Structure 1
Amino acid sequence: MHWPKLSLGLLLSAVAVTDARRSLQHVGKKDAKPKSTISGHDSFATHYLATRQLPPPRFANANTTKFAVNGTGIPDVDFDVGESYAGYLPITDNPDDTDELFFWFFPSSSPTNTTQKEILLWLNGGPGCSSFEGLLQENGPFIWQSGTLKPIPNPWAWNRLTNVVWVEQPIGTGFSRGKVTARGEEDVASQFLGFWKNFIDTFSLQGYKVYIAGESYAGAYCPYIASAMLDKNDTTYYNVSGLIVYDPVLGDDVVQESATTVPFVDYHHNLFTFNNSFNAHIHELHESCGFADYNAKYLVYPPSGPQPKGYTQSVSRECRNLWEVILEEALSINPCFDVYQVATTCPLLYDVLGFPGTINYLPEGAEIYFDREDVKKAIHADLNTKWAECADGDVFVGGDRSDPSSWKVLPHVIDATKNVIIGHGSLDMILLPNGTLLTIQNTTWGGQLGFQSPPVEPFFVPFHTLSTADEIESETDQTKLGSIAAAGVLGTAHTERGLTYVSVDLSGHMVPQYAPSAAFRHLEFLLGRVDSLSSVQPFTIEPNYPQPPADSLGNGTGPGTFSSGTEAAEQGVGSVSASAEVKGSDAGRIGVGFSAVFLTLGAIAMVAMTEL
């Protein structure tokens, strides 16, 4: 098979989503191939469910019986989700403790991975947003995306690779119950470790490797919890072996938002169609607030030195509010603008969790899925608890008083595990890619400050069919086999001293939701199934599917890859020209890419908008 600079691979992926797009007949053209009339749910679910093999229950015993969930009894889910357990466990060793966290545990569904003694913990952010958003719309065994009819099996479910538990924490989040007493991340970590010890004992997971993952405000939760586990020096319960956080809260608020918003707007200028006067106003603020100089001085490789402490407090209110000013104007132009995925336009799609993005939206007569009584009964949740995706009340007493995780605890986890991944979606404005890169460049681990070299390596997602290659009779059949998800070079991945940064093209804030195949590859890397995010090794769930040669990938599509449209075109990865106000070097620093825009807009996984 010939792979000329990935062009054939991109073509195959484009063909694979033929049935997902509108017919060319609407514009007076004929489709190259007949359009299938099989419904997406039937074609995918029928094949996937017929070919998967669920292993027999492995954790059923006297201690776990009360937590067991009937895999065929989950409301609106018309297939067997397999073995799982849900319920409450206290945050101390006192079995009568009324402060309890709620969990849903799914053992590995792959017969080939059942012998791996490892478990992954997933946390969503907020603070106070439920991890069941991740379970239902990101990386759980069944997904119910915005605008879709009902739940479907998730071929990119993380429990296809390992044992996974989704936990609602801290106290006050989701179904978890008790008195909110946490005053900072140290308290949250302490309470979580109490819960975790009870969880390990309940399911006899002593000695298992522990991987921790999450997104957004979990950029605070996860490193603090992982660091506290490492401090215990007890591998029976807290054998921390790796960490991944997506679009994370890591450092200074202004650095992660306002200081990098104008370059973000310039890079995505076709999505921010501001008039000339407003555009000039925000650029003047970017200069007068010192943000342009800050980026020029500190977003360099290797770092020029430590960034100033307390930067947010040194910036005027007008400068701190630049992000909000831009958001307000964006909403004026696009009433359905979504900071979690800035390419979103109207109409808003109904989301069964009631939170499809920047604007809350629940149609009349609709219900929040996890607040339904039948769902609560199915997973042993308290019927009197009113579930919401994000808590109405505070989950910290007086706010979170802890230092940013990038100061101490994140470096501790990197140095201890040599296995930490920070991922970021290129279309996320709630937390911006350059803000994450600036924070990395102000973090010391492995005895050095920041990355010494700019991220330029390709992040490659294997081509796939969700079946073995010999079951594919034609390109058209590929459209019948599964969830729409991208493949090819989809960003940039860079590793130094145990820390990996990976940008994901055309993903919003929730990477496993917008780019599920990309997140699946991240997990394979975290678990040691592949040795690099630039590897062309097939997915471990499809080991026989052909991939292009490594020397055909070129560079990644992230920071430093293109400084102008001309250079990008010469590299054969597609180009985007920045607006006149942006210098070529600034465009190259944004840390996001538009490689293969024509492909990924069609091939990116089903879009839904949820919480921070």
Structure 2
Amino acid sequence: MRFSFAFSALLLGELAYAEYDARNAFKKAERTIPATPEHPRLNKRASPFYTEKTKRFWVNGKAIPDVPFDVGESYAGLLPISTSKNETRELYFWFFPSANPKASGEITLWLNGGPGCSSLRGLLTENGPFTWMPGTFKPVQNSYSWTNLTNVLWIEQPVGTGYSQGVPNITNEVELGLQFIGFYKNFVDTFNIHKYKVYITGESYAGFYVPYIADAFITANNTDYFNLKGIAINNALIGDRTVAADAVMAPFVNHWSQLFFLNQTFLTTMNERAAACNYTAYVNKYLRFPPPQEKFPLLPPLYTDPVYTCDMYSDISEAATLVNPCWNLYHVTETCPRPYNVLGGVNDFDYVPPGLAIYFNRSDVQTAINAPHVNWFQCTDVNVFANQPTRSTNYSIGNDKSPGPGRDGALQRVIEYTNNVIIGSGNLDFVLPTNGSLLSLQNVTWNGLQGLQSYPGKPFYVPYHPEYNGGSQAGAGILGSFGTERGVTFYQVQLAGHELPGYSPGAAYRVMEMLLGRVKTLDESAGPFTTQPYGNFTKGGTIKKRGARDL
């Protein structure tokens, strides 16, 4: 089957597929459930994690600056990447145990990308127990926190990222993986979580990190420490940068032309350049289901062309910004005004109000979470891959010398070892469009065949939330599509952007349930969220909401 453009058409009428009346349910819930409880009641239990070894990492959940509620049990601080007495390189972590009984004996790791972007960004704006979204007044409880499902560890890595300490000296992902497993072994010993099942997750450039780290877990061959059970990545770079982005950007703009609203002269020139750069023919030949059973050739590097003729990314970004000065390449529907972010800016166009105190740069916050008092950046200006020349190949980003994990066998080994790999994409992401992820995946061979044999077009159904929390809402019903073949699930969410768990937290929550083995599929037959069997969404999670009788 040939599929020249892989976005599925999601019909509004499909929402009627669900039998749940969300609007009336929300009205009812508003009468009984406070939207922002001032003093939520915590699940009380003896903690197996608080010991002589770990008490120096304990965080007072009632004393997180500007957070008006108890975030629950957590531990944070620095641990070295080796057992050497002279080791100066340390990674910063924040660990939140879950009160869910099903979380016993398992842990999920979360990594943001970059390279060099802090995983605290994911904690605070995507999947942590409290979130502080751009443009909002203060943090709120996250009804879709992954800690409701399992124990979660956010890690700032590699060395040089966030609060992590030391001088970066890695040159590739294999070295990164070795440093990471050194840190994680120390974490396991410190918190006594030997033999725990490990699930590794992340987004964006973590499409490199996660498979390579998972491959390092496999190579270590020690399930006392590295008991890998699956990985999940979204909006992830897993292959060649040109294939994953520039090659598919013209069809992306054509598909969303009413959102971009670029003039016809620009669109004509854009499509002519895509054809001249061999992008159009490449996509038409290789983005098929099933794909040609052959290794796809590399496209010419962008940076060897002195005038960057085939750099579609930059030219389209500039044109889009002229039409919409607040255009967001991570979620292309956004317009002015641009909301500020308490984490500060990442790109030149990010709005940082004069005098804004970057949250994780505040000394009171750093003291509260056992962080070093250093100048914290959401994405570091330090090169975390040391002593490498400027980008010399079309897959070398941030001076990482490694090829994509989909090209060198790392991703294949992880799939065949776990048979539990989930790859997702938000369809409104311009940085790494859905078609680029699919095109990269079609170049990977696993379990006897190359790529997906059928287009992942089954309806992705997300359950409705039975409680109302005005500060933490998510879409429900049919939000996208998915498919599962030979141990790999690929899904897409129509209205999500680059940071998928932030834009569509309900969808990400359901994906986590599948990764952990709580549900077997992403369609409607999976039923309600596993944490709401009796209508209480956060039952078993870190924070328990008050019912009507508690008011």
Determine helix, strand or coil for the equivalent of 1:406.
helix
Match of 2:62 in 1: 72
Determine helix, strand or coil for the equivalent of 1:240.
strand
CA contact (8 A) 1:75 1:374 kept: yes
Amino acid at match of 2:442: Q
Match of 1:320 in 2: 310
Match of 2:36 in 1: 45
What pairs with 1:468-479 in structure 2 (closer than 5 Å)? 479=468
What pairs with 1:178-327 in structure 2 (closer than 5 Å)? 178-313=166-301, 318-327=308-317
> Does 2:487 align with 1:498?
yes
CA distance in 2, matches of 1:484, 1:48: 20
Determine helix, strand or coil for the equivalent of 2:59.
coil
Match of 2:446 in 1: 445
Deviations 1:260-302 (A, max 9, x none): 0111111111111111111111111122222221111111111
Deviations 1:537-557 (A, max 9, x none): 1101112459xxxxxxxxxxx
CA distance in 2, matches of 1:271, 1:194: 46
Q: Which moved further from structure 2: 248-257 or 4-13?
A: 4-13
CA distance in 2, matches of 1:17, 1:360: 34
Match of 1:369 in 2: 359
CA contact (8 A) 1:82 1:109 kept: no
CA distance in 2, matches of 1:389, 1:167: 13
CA distance in 1, matches of 2:484, 2:333: 29
Amino acid at match of 1:500: T
Q: How many residues are matched? A: 509
CA distance in 2, matches of 1:332, 1:537: 45
CA distance in 2, matches of 1:56, 1:319: 62
What pairs with 1:203-602 in structure 2 (closer than 5 Å)? 203-313=191-301, 318-355=308-345, 359-383=349-373, 385-397=374-386, 398=388, 399-407=399-407, 408-466=409-467, 479=468, 483-534=472-523, 535-544=525-534
Q: Which moved further from structure 2: 351-360 or 435-444?
A: 351-360
Determine helix, strand or coil for the equivalent of 2:289.
coil
Amino acid at match of 2:181: L
How far is 1:78 from its partner?
1.4
CA distance in 2, matches of 1:99, 1:373: 22
- Compared CA separation, residues 339 and 5, structure 1 to 2 (3 A): closer
Determine helix, strand or coil for the equivalent of 1:44.
coil
CA distance in 1, matches of 2:222, 2:361: 38
How far is 1:197 from its partner?
0.3
Deviations 1:107-128 (A, max 9, x none): 0133x335x2000110000000
Deviations 1:545-578 (A, max 9, x none): 59xxxxxxxxxxxxxxxxxxxxxxxxxxxxxxxx
Amino acid at match of 1:134: G
Match of 1:124 in 2: 112
CA contact (8 A) 1:182 1:395 kept: yes
CA distance in 2, matches of 1:495, 1:354: 38
Match of 1:470 in 2: none
Amino acid at match of 1:104: W
Deviations 1:355-396 (A, max 9, x none): 27672221112111000000000111111x100100011000
Q: TM-score, normalised by structure 1?
A: 0.79
CA distance in 2, matches of 1:480, 1:510: 21
Amino acid at match of 2:358: I
Determine helix, strand or coil for the equivalent of 2:406.
coil
CA distance in 2, matches of 1:225, 1:444: 19
CA contact (8 A) 2:26 2:466 kept: no
How far is 1:309 from its partner?
3.2
CA distance in 1, matches of 2:339, 2:24: 26
Match of 1:597 in 2: none
CA distance in 2, matches of 1:321, 1:70: 49
- Compared CA separation, residues 44 and 127, structure 1 to 2 (3 A): same
Q: TM-score, normalised by structure 2?
A: 0.88
RMSD between superposed Cα atoms in Å:
2.4
Q: Which moved further from structure 2: 199-208 or 532-541?
A: 532-541
CA distance in 1, matches of 2:465, 2:371: 38
> Could you list the runs of 5+ residues in structure 1 that have no partner in the other structure?
19-32, 467-478, 547-612
> Which structure is richer in relative contact order (CA contacts within 8 A, separation 6 or more)?
2
- Compared CA separation, residues 284 and 533, structure 1 to 2 (3 A): same
Deviations 1:15-68 (A, max 9, x none): 6678xxxxxxxxxxxxxx9xx8x9xxx932329925x63543230000001000
Match of 2:155 in 1: 167
> Could you list the runs of 5+ residues in structure 2 that have no partner in the other structure?
1-12, 389-398, 537-551
